[in-house]
Structure 1
Amino acid sequence: MLIYFLKKIIAYPKITLIGTLAFCIILSFFSLKLQIDASADSLLLEDDKDLKIFREISKDYKSDDFLIIAFKPKDLDPFSKQSLEKLKKIHKDLENSYNVERVLSIINAPLLQSNDQADLKELIKNIPNITFKDINLSKAKNEILNSPFYKNNIISKDGTTTALIIYLNPDLKLNQLLDQKYKANQLQKEKYQNQIQEHQNSQKIITKKSLDQIKHIMQNYQKNGDELYISGISLIAEDMISYIKDDLLIYGFALILLLSLALYYFFRSLRFVFLPLFICFISLSSASGVFALLGFKITVISSNYVALILIITLSVVIHLITHFIECSNKFPHAKIQNVILATLLAKAKPSFYAILTTMIGFLSLVFSNIEPIIKLGIMMSIGISLSLVLSYLFLGSILVLLKPKNYSKKEFKFNFLNFCAKSSLNHRKLIYTLTFLASIFALAGISFLRVENSFVNYFKDGSEIKKGLLLIDTKLGGTLPLDIIIKFKDNSKFQNNDNLDSFENEFEALSNEKTYWFNAKKIRIVKKIHQYLENKPYIGSVLSLNSLLTLGKNINDGKDLDDFALAFLNENLPNDFKKDLLSPFVNIDKNELRFTMRIVDSDPNLRRNEFLKELNKELNDLLKNDDVSVQIAGVMVLYNNMLQSLFSSQFNTLIFVILVIFILFILIFKDLKFSIIALVVNIIPISVVFALMGILNIPLDMMSITIAAISMGIGVDDAIHYIYRFKQTIKNKNIKEAILNTHNSIGSALYYTSISIILGFSVMMSSNFIPTIYFGALTIFVMILLLLGSLFLLPSLLITFKKNQ
């Protein structure tokens, strides 16, 4: 069947070429519709139970989408006349910006201690701010610097940096669609997901317009030594889209240049520069069209598909071209059609098995439980399958149509390949000793591997996004949000008691009304928890009902607010101030309190998982006699869940790859010893890389988790090609001749493909995203080790195995 198919390709090259090209152009057209997704949801575990809790809390407490602009004046005094004037203008411009609901800064922050109005009831009717005519500026500055609501939120502890919090118009429709999706059955969920996607696409336009306008305002005021930095979920998502687009562009152009030089260096023929590049890029554009048709989106992680598809496609093409040149030189007078057919047939099985093992490597990523990693695995499996088919169709047709010529060989490689072969023949003890030491290093180093990672450190030093995140993280109370929900047992609802007289029943009913929900017990619990959180390491800003209690005490001559005073504030605070001072921390309908805090994410000593476990244990111990339940939630919990899943995911993907590839080896080689040898040669280099990560304190992240599966999938290709050729050669030659012959034939293809793969992954080191840079560097290192394993350790093991037979 395969021979018949290949003969048809070679017999009708023009029809094959035109038909295949037309098919690829149609698919490539759809690639223009491929979308980029840099939302926070793309980095979360979709089936995470904490995600549902987080969304419920966001809905109950109406969490707003906001941005933070940090303003650091040149004179380091935000309260100077010049700084306040500039802040007023910035504040006003931001309030008039597109899609901005409101802005909170020291300009409009409510001040309750900075005038002579002593009566609380009168004061809250007309709460002043720093711009009021009769305000005492010295008192206002002191109040803002010491306010429980403003310190570490809109003003730094040292008073040198202030923040403008920009609240964007809430996306009510998205919340409604998400709510409907989670209540729907499995069939309806897809419908709602499509609606959510359409809505998010339209919202992206609104968000981009808003962000562009805000950035333009910042540029107008970023002069005379004053520094302004912006941060926020919407901004990070928008910047990530720009980063992904830049990476895709750089990957494409850099790979064209590097691979063109490499191909010419290998083959010394322009046709074998343009032909492989043409096949690579037509395969890439066709695969992109397929991804668009399937509704896949490009994330930070899957943006690497560009380099990966180009690299893997090129490795297939290089193996085919190398064998074609070898056959052409071996049979110079043979018809070109026969040479091409012999090449395609000879490489059919090893190429198929090589792509199959690479697919298995990528498909193992479905066990990661992280949506973008799963999508990368599926996308790459589809992409490289398409690449194999297109490589055969285009090479089979184009080589027939090209004018035959003599192909020269680049002889430099054979010195190196001969050295590798002779080392395997004569110095196996040294190779085994180095392998043993590498194995010991791997076992020791892997124990230091960790998943701890700071989101701030995902970005390059000096980038605007990192500058903003670091300033807010270190000066304005942290960047990683965390919530604690304290739920009281629902035992306070009024039930009629015949043993109580009518007056007591009436009093009990009255005490259960919302107005009188506050009581001494709740106030005591609030103070106790808040004080504990403020003294907890790594916690920056803490806000809760206690913040209002502290504020009330300050304006009440140092006297604590009682439950009646709180009830009064609940009833009489203006809505604008109630939205900031009370509603985010109290949910009377659900009988619960909320504590919001931000964690200093950039602290190098922070161990997120241990911190959360310790926080949960200590809070439960603290409240064990208070008849309440504790729930920890927020972005930090979701981020930590993703990080912790990496360990189990790494184990699952690696075990899956090893087992399936081992079974495949047995089917390919039909020999248990060959299969074990091929597996060992690939496992040791990958283990060394993970050990190196542990020793160098490079954390396992959402990119490096894919290294094992990808490297294993690509790396076994070398072992398959080498052993496949060795088994054919050993039939007619002694072991020494077989090793030398295999090295000087298939070894050159391994050398070419490995160099191309290394060059391909090197472009990732130009990324704006630190995990991508690590991924590129570590994959280069593992590919070098895999090449050395195939050229030194693999033949050594084959010699030992054959001698012991």
Structure 2
Amino acid sequence: MLSKFLKLIISYPKTTFLGTFFICLFLSFFAFKISVDASAESLLLEDDTDLKTFREISKHYKNDNFLILAFKPQDENPFSKTNLSKLQKLHNDLEKAPLIERVFSIINAPLLQSSENTDLKELLKNIPDIQSKDVNQTKAKNEILNNPFYKNNIISKNGRITGIIIYLKTDYIYNELIEKRNLAKNEKEKNAIRLAIKKHQDQQKILNKQNLDFIKNIIKKYETNQDKLYLGGVSMIADDMITYIKSDLLIYGVSLVFLLAIALYYFFRTWRFVLLPLFICFISLSAASGVFALLNFQITVISSNYVALVLIITLSVVIHLITHFIEISQTYPNARIQRLVLQTLLAKAKPSLYAIVTTMIGFFSLIFSNIEPIIKLGIMMSVGIGLALIFSYLFLASILVLLKPKQYHKKEFKFNLLEFCAKISLDQKKRYIIYGISCIAILVSLFGISKLRVENSFVNYFRDGSEIKKGLLVIDKNLGGTLPLDVIIRFKNNQTATNSNKALDSFEDEFEDLEKKDTYWFNSKKTRIAKKVHEFLEHQKFVGSVLSLNSLLILGKNINHGEDLDDFALAFLNENLPQNFKQDLISPFVNIKNNELRFTMRIVDSDPNLRRNEFLIKLNENLHKLLKNDDVQIQITGIMVLYNNMLQSLFSSQFDTLVFVILAIFILFIFVFRDLKFSIIAILVNVIPLSVVFALMGLCQIPLDMMSITIAAIAIGIGVDDAIHYIYRFKEEIKSKSIEEAIINSHLSIGSALYYTTISIVLGFSVMMSSNFIPTIYFGVLTVFVMILLLSGSLFLLPSFLISIYSKKAKLENQHK
């Protein structure tokens, strides 16, 4: 069947080429519509219960989405007249941005202790700020530096850096769509809402980009060589990630063309086998990208490396085919080109198909991650490399026939590298050394993998010296941290009175009714708990800024001559505080309707000793111990919790991914080789190098992150290709030759293709080291390392296993004679 089909397309090369080319061209048209998504949402688990809690609690409180702009003046005195004037102008300009709800800093921070007016009731009617006429500047500075709401929040502890909090408008449409999706009754309805969400996100992404560009242009206007401005926040990180992804995609494309062109010319010494593979690679990539766009897939931080992966795997297929074509062209120089092409395609059909299927299995295993971008990367790669195999065959079948015949010369390696590798495996003593090294590698791997951890920092996702990292570090270390975390304390509703207590007198009935009013919600129990939890959180390591109702209590004590605010004073403030100040001092920390207190923290994300999962577990345990007798519910939520859940999911899914890949490929090997021994050694040759890489990560304390999670699937997926091609060739050679001749011939033929593909892969992934995104750099380095180990396994360990198996088999046959 396959032979007839190949003969047909070879017989009509022009029709085959033009038909395939126009199909690719048609699909490539849609590639321009593929979009980039680096939002925080793209990294969250859709079925995460903590995410539902986070969204629910976010409804209770406003202004969860904000940016922080750090201002570091040259004279390190934000309170000077010149700097206050700059801040005021900056304030005014920022407020004009389209998606900004309001701006908060020392410019408009309410001051209750710095004016001549000491009557609180009168003061609340017209609360002054630092630029008010009747405010004493010295007192104002001291109040801001010591105010619990401002210190380590909008002013650094040393008073040299001030922060401007830019509150962004809430996206109510998005929240409504998310709620509708969660309430959807069936998958069809959910998918329809998901499309609506994506459409809205695309529109909002444009607006957010315009808004951030507007803010950045304002910053450029005010930033000088002396005065420094640093912008940070979740939206800022997402925007910079998108910029880096787009930059990386461009760099990958340009660099890969240049590097792979050099490598291909070095391998084949003819320009036709430089241009032909590159043409097939890029037309296949464009067509695959078009398919992804039609499937409504977006490029995320995680899937941005699909460009390099599709190019490299396509090139691997093409190199195997071209290498075999050159080999039989040299063996049969007078044969017709059609026969040479047909023989090449038929000879490589099974190993190429099995190699691609195993690679697809490797990538398909990513569906176990539970993280949508990783799942989609698995699907994208499975589809992409499937198309790569089809297009490689169709284009090579037509183009090789259309090209004029030519004498080809394969590159000979200096020092006869491949023969040298083969002879090491053939030497019994050296073969035992190879086994010994492999055993040591397994033992080291068991120890190293036990040290593997999942621990990532947003701050450390970016290169040292990059503008975003500078800004995040300034904010992280001076303005209370960058990673938001909330603690919610929910008071249980009073139980309905029992029959025995129903006979309340009129005064008690009236008092009970008063208690239900918002004014009388505050009481000594709530203020006691607010103080206890706030002070506990302040003393926790890695916690930067802490704000809560207790911050208001501290402020109230300062303005009340050292006396604590009583319940009536708090109720008075809640009733009489102007709305614009209430939204900063009370509303973010108290929700009377839901009977709860909120403690907002920012975690110092850049601290190298922070272990996020351990920190959250310990914090939860200690809070429950602290409040065990207070009859309250405790909920820890926020971006940090959601991000940690994603990381922990990565770690747990890594085991599922590995088990699935190894079992699936092992079963496929049994089907392919029809031999249990071949299947076992083919798996071992791939698992050992992969284990060494994970051990290296554990020993060097390189954390498992959202990109390195894919290394197992990629490495095994690509690595098994080498084992399949080598074993296939060896089985052909051993039919008519001795073990020694079969090994040497396999090395000199298929070994050269393995060498070419590995060099191409190494060059391809090394391009990733130029990224500004640290996980991409680690991904590139680790993948290069594992590919070199996999090549070593195929050239040293695999032949050693084959020699041992066949030597033992030969001895048994001799004994039976």
TM-score category (smaller protein): over 0.9
Residue 343 of structure 1 is matched in structure 2 by 344
Residue 812 of structure 2 is matched in structure 1 by none
Please point out which of 456, 460, 481 is paired with 1:453. Answer: 456
Say if 1:554 and 1:518 are closer, same or farther in 2 by CA, change over 3 A.
same
Residue 642 of structure 1 is matched in structure 2 by 646
Give the letter aligned to residue 712 of structure 1.
I
RMSD: 1.1
Residue 488 of structure 2 is matched in structure 1 by 485
Say if 1:413 and 1:798 are closer, same or farther in 2 by CA, change over 3 A.
farther
Q: Distance in 1 between matches of 2:395 and 2:763?
A: 24
Give the letter aligned to residue 208 of structure 1.
K
Matched, 1:472 2:475: yes
Choose 165-174 or 331-340, whichever is displaced more. Answer: 165-174
**Percent same amino acid at aligned positions?**
70
Residue 395 of structure 1 is matched in structure 2 by 396
Matched, 1:212 2:216: no
Q: Distance in 1 between matches of 2:632 and 2:8?
A: 76
Deviation at residue 413 of structure 1 after TM alignment: 5.9
Say if 1:452 and 1:32 are closer, same or farther in 2 by CA, change over 3 A.
same
Residue 775 of structure 1 is matched in structure 2 by 779
Deviation at residue 98 of structure 1 after TM alignment: 2.6
Say if 1:414 and 1:326 are closer, same or farther in 2 by CA, change over 3 A.
farther
For the 8 Å contact 2:116–2:134, the answer to whether it is kept is no
Residue 239 of structure 1 is matched in structure 2 by 240
Matched, 1:99 2:99: yes
Residue 426 of structure 2 is matched in structure 1 by 425
For the 8 Å contact 2:116–2:135, the answer to whether it is kept is no
Map 1:703-742 to 2 at 5 A. 703-742=707-746
For the 8 Å contact 1:446–1:687, the answer to whether it is kept is yes
Map 1:628-639 to 2 at 5 A. 628-639=632-643
Residue 441 of structure 1 is matched in structure 2 by 444
Q: Distance in 2 between matches of 1:188 and 1:506?
A: 50
Give the letter aligned to residue 424 of structure 2.
S
Matched, 1:7 2:7: yes
Q: Distance in 2 between matches of 1:627 and 1:299?
A: 44
**Matched residue SS, 2:133:** coil
Matched, 1:581 2:577: no
For the 8 Å contact 1:460–1:769, the answer to whether it is kept is yes
Matched, 1:761 2:765: yes
Q: Distance in 2 between matches of 1:493 and 1:552?
A: 34
What per-residue deviation string (whole Å, max 9, x for no partner) do you get for residues 66-95 of structure 1? 211100011111112221121111111112
Q: Which runs of 5+ in 2 are unaligned?
A: 810-817
Residue 800 of structure 1 is matched in structure 2 by 804
For the 8 Å contact 1:65–1:167, the answer to whether it is kept is yes
Map 1:530-679 to 2 at 5 A. 530-679=534-683
Q: Distance in 2 between matches of 1:129 and 1:716?
A: 69
Residue 109 of structure 2 is matched in structure 1 by 109
Residue 76 of structure 2 is matched in structure 1 by 76
Q: Distance in 1 between matches of 2:373 and 2:644?
A: 16
Matched, 1:153 2:162: no
Q: Distance in 2 between matches of 1:569 and 1:198?
A: 44
What per-residue deviation string (whole Å, max 9, x for no partner) do you get for residues 220-244 of structure 1? 1111411101012222211111111
Residue 139 of structure 2 is matched in structure 1 by 139
Deviation at residue 495 of structure 1 after TM alignment: 8.4
For the 8 Å contact 1:107–1:131, the answer to whether it is kept is yes
Deviation at residue 116 of structure 1 after TM alignment: 2.0
Please give the TM-score of this superposition, normalised by the length of structure 1: 0.99
Give the letter aligned to residue 362 of structure 2.
G
Matched, 1:128 2:128: yes
Q: Distance in 1 between matches of 2:28 and 2:498?
A: 70
What per-residue deviation string (whole Å, max 9, x for no partner) do you get for residues 371-408 of structure 1? 11111000000000000000000000000000001001
Map 1:58-457 to 2 at 5 A. 58-186=58-186, 187-412=188-413, 415-426=416-427, 427-457=430-460
Count residues with an aligned counterpart.
805
Give the letter aligned to residue 651 of structure 1.
F
For the 8 Å contact 1:414–1:744, the answer to whether it is kept is no
What per-residue deviation string (whole Å, max 9, x for no partner) do you get for residues 401-443 of structure 1? 0000100121116700000000000121121122122222211
For the 8 Å contact 1:492–1:512, the answer to whether it is kept is no
For the 8 Å contact 2:321–2:348, the answer to whether it is kept is yes
Give the letter aligned to residue 139 of structure 2.
K
Say if 1:615 and 1:64 are closer, same or farther in 2 by CA, change over 3 A.
closer
**Matched residue SS, 1:381:** helix
**Matched residue SS, 2:609:** coil
For the 8 Å contact 2:63–2:167, the answer to whether it is kept is no
Choose 408-417 or 584-593, whichever is displaced more. Answer: 408-417
What per-residue deviation string (whole Å, max 9, x for no partner) do you get for residues 232-258 of structure 1? 222221111111110000000000000
Give the letter aligned to residue 393 of structure 2.
Y
For the 8 Å contact 1:493–1:512, the answer to whether it is kept is no
Q: Which runs of 5+ in 1 are unaligned?
A: none
For the 8 Å contact 1:413–1:748, the answer to whether it is kept is no
Residue 749 of structure 1 is matched in structure 2 by 753
Q: Distance in 2 between matches of 1:494 and 1:214?
A: 56
Q: Distance in 1 between matches of 2:349 and 2:70?
A: 60
Deviation at residue 65 of structure 1 after TM alignment: 2.2
Q: Distance in 1 between matches of 2:316 and 2:31?
A: 23
Choose 565-574 or 393-402, whichever is displaced more. Answer: 565-574
Deviation at residue 63 of structure 1 after TM alignment: 3.4
Say if 1:623 and 1:278 are closer, same or farther in 2 by CA, change over 3 A.
same
Q: Distance in 2 between matches of 1:419 and 1:224?
A: 60
Residue 532 of structure 2 is matched in structure 1 by 528
For the 8 Å contact 2:452–2:694, the answer to whether it is kept is yes
What per-residue deviation string (whole Å, max 9, x for no partner) do you get for residues 118-162 of structure 1? 211111110000011121011100111111100111001111110
Choose 637-646 or 350-359, whichever is displaced more. Answer: 637-646
For the 8 Å contact 2:145–2:151, the answer to whether it is kept is yes
Q: Distance in 2 between matches of 1:441 and 1:793?
A: 17
Please give the TM-score of this superposition, normalised by the length of structure 2: 0.97
Say if 1:64 and 1:481 are closer, same or farther in 2 by CA, change over 3 A.
closer
Give the letter aligned to residue 134 of structure 1.
D
Matched, 1:699 2:686: no
